Amino acid sequence: MPQVMEFKLPDLGEGLTEAEIVRWLVAVGDVVAIDQPVVEVETAKAMVEVPCPYGGVVTARFGEEGTELPVGAPLITVAVGASSLPEAPAAQAAEAEGSGNVPRPLIGYGEDHSRPARRRRVRPVTAAVSAPVVVAPVAPVAPAAPAAPAAPVVSAGPVPVISPLVRKLAKDGGVDLRALKGSGPEGLILRADVEAALAALRAPEPAPAAPVAPAVAAQGERIPLKGVRGAVAEKLSRSRREIPDATCWVDADATELMAARAAMNAVGGPKISVLALLARICTAALAKYPELNSTVDLAAKEIVRLPSVHLGFAAQTERGLVVPVVRDAQHRNPESLSAEFARLTELARAGKLAPADLTGGTFTLNNYGVFGVDGSTPIINHPEAAMLGVGRIIDKPWVHEGELAVRKVVQLSLTFDHRVCDGGTAGGFLRYVADCVESPAVLLRSL
């Protein structure tokens, strides 16, 4: 008899708590093999095909295309051992016999028991629809009429008033002395009691509260803030909340750097990009100023200086802005950096970056000059401590060796976390980068 196994959405990477179903790769009734991709999902970091650890017949899919599911929510159910399964090859049969087709963790995913999945209402897709439950309408209960205020008890005996002035004051004001309770000895009605009654009679009735106009929703096209856009919004908002950032900038003469690049590319071999040269300058600068390759541990109230430079770089794609990470950039030369930048950029534009390619950065290089702008004050990529921005390289008048000349000028900006260093450290880092841009020979001292 077949056993129905439920496959839940696995943990797809660091910090990911949900994923959106983009495209189902199987339908109910299809036969699937072990580790066959069954659905394509979009996380906040990448598009991922999710393989199923069970082999059998798909009996149900949970969620339509476009539905967002939390990690740990049911994804599909598979009838394992169904009679409709095709005969597996001998090797697969031996493997199935040895394993018993028991649930296995997906390769590269693993389970995360450290955080509970957020509860989210998910509509499972099933073949049968349960009969609707008819609830008898309940007759509305009429609200109870408000109780009339109790009439004051009027004493039939003599009124405890001694002063004729008090009597006259009450008569002129229309106050029934028999309805008053005196505050004097043995209930004697005093002038203060009558004046208090008169003040109560003259007090204006409270005006009815003005009706509150309902909030009017903003008009226009509404775009869900989810996926890559939602992840970017959350990370940048957190950066603004937690990091006291500051920005400094400088103009640099990049004529010698561009000449050095042209000389490198003239000898043949893989082309060296400007971004790769700037990345190599960054790793050398971070070696001199390690404060900027760090992060802040708020729980421990400590600054953590990181031993390796995992360099992130901003890449614009059709899905939005992503920041792939080059691992151990401090050990790479410009040729290796150029190749890795090209590889990651191609994967980013194809939407095939793995979650591991988008996490773990320690410093970001942002080349916004490709958009045709000179400068910017970027937001730090939390939880990093700094970001170097590079504007466009254009011809400008520049004083060179005492004479006015047309040179290739670039604006460099550094946004840094003021908790990890002061302005002197940030200024020293930026000045060193600018010196290497203006005179690439300066970089030879650190190679």
- Total Cβ atoms within 10 A of residue 399: 10
- Which amino acid does the sequence have at 297? D
Q: Tell me whether residue 418 is one of the annotated catalytic residues.
A: yes
Q: How far is CA 187 from CA 4, 178, 180, 183, 347, in A?
A: 85, 12, 9, 6, 93
Residue 192 has a pLDDT of 84
Please give the structure tokens belonging to residue 161. Answer: 């008033």
Q: ∠ at Cα 52 (50, 57), nearest 5°? A: 130
How far is the C-alpha of 346 from the C-alpha of 324, rounded, in Å? 11
Q: In the block, which residue shows the tokens 């002129």? A: 172
Q: Phi/psi at 389 (nearest 5 deg)?
A: -105, 140
**Contact assessment for residue 74 and residue 6, using Cβ atoms and an 8 Å cutoff:** yes
Q: In the block, which residue shows the tokens 């869900």? A: 224
Q: Phi/psi at 432 (nearest 5 deg)?
A: -65, -40
Residue from 113, 310, 331, 418 carrying the catalytic annotation: 418
Q: Where are the beta strands (DSSP E) in 375-436?
A: 386-390, 394-400, 403-417
Q: Which of 146, 197, 205, 142 is nearest to 173 (CA)?
A: 197
Residue 231 has a pLDDT of 79
**Contact assessment for residue 175 and residue 166, using Cβ atoms and an 8 Å cutoff:** no
Q: ∠ at Cα 418 (416, 423), nearest 5°? A: 80
How far is the C-alpha of 127 from the C-alpha of 316, rounded, in Å? 42
Residue 335 has a pLDDT of 95
Whether the upstream peptide bond of residue 74 has omega within 30° of 0, thus cis, is no
The SS3 of residue 351 is: coil
The SS3 of residue 195 is: helix
Residue 190 has a pLDDT of 81
Rg of the chain in Å (alpha carbons): 37
**Contact assessment for residue 252 and residue 412, using Cβ atoms and an 8 Å cutoff:** yes
The contacts of residue 386 (CB under 8 Å, 6+ apart) are: 292, 293, 363, 364, 380, 414, 415, 416, 417, 420, 426, 429
Residue 136 has a pLDDT of 42
What is the chain's pLDDT, residue by residue, as a tens digit (447 residues)?
Answer: 678 899 998 887 656 678 889 899 999 999 999 989 999 888 766 778 889 999 999 999 998 998 888 888 999 999 998 554 444 444 444 444 444 444 444 444 444 444 444 444 444 444 333 334 444 444 444 444 444 444 444 455 566 665 666 777 888 878 887 787 888 777 778 888 888 888 887 766 666 666 665 666 668 999 888 877 787 888 889 999 999 999 999 999 999 999 999 999 999 889 999 999 999 999 999 999 999 999 999 999 999 999 999 999 988 888 778 899 999 999 999 999 999 999 999 999 888 888 889 899 999 999 999 999 999 888 999 999 999 999 999 999 999 999 999 999 999 999 999 999 999 999 999 999 999 999 998 887 766
Burial of 278 (0-12, 13-18, 19+ CB in 10 A): buried
Residue 347 has a pLDDT of 92
Beta-bridge mates of residue 304: 295
Please give the structure tokens belonging to residue 179. Answer: 């309805």
Q: How far is CA 262 from CA 8, 257, 333, in A?
A: 53, 9, 16
Plot region of 103 (φ>0 → left; ψ -120 to 50 → alpha; else → beta): beta
**Contact assessment for residue 292 and residue 386, using Cβ atoms and an 8 Å cutoff:** yes
The contacts of residue 147 (CB under 8 Å, 6+ apart) are: none
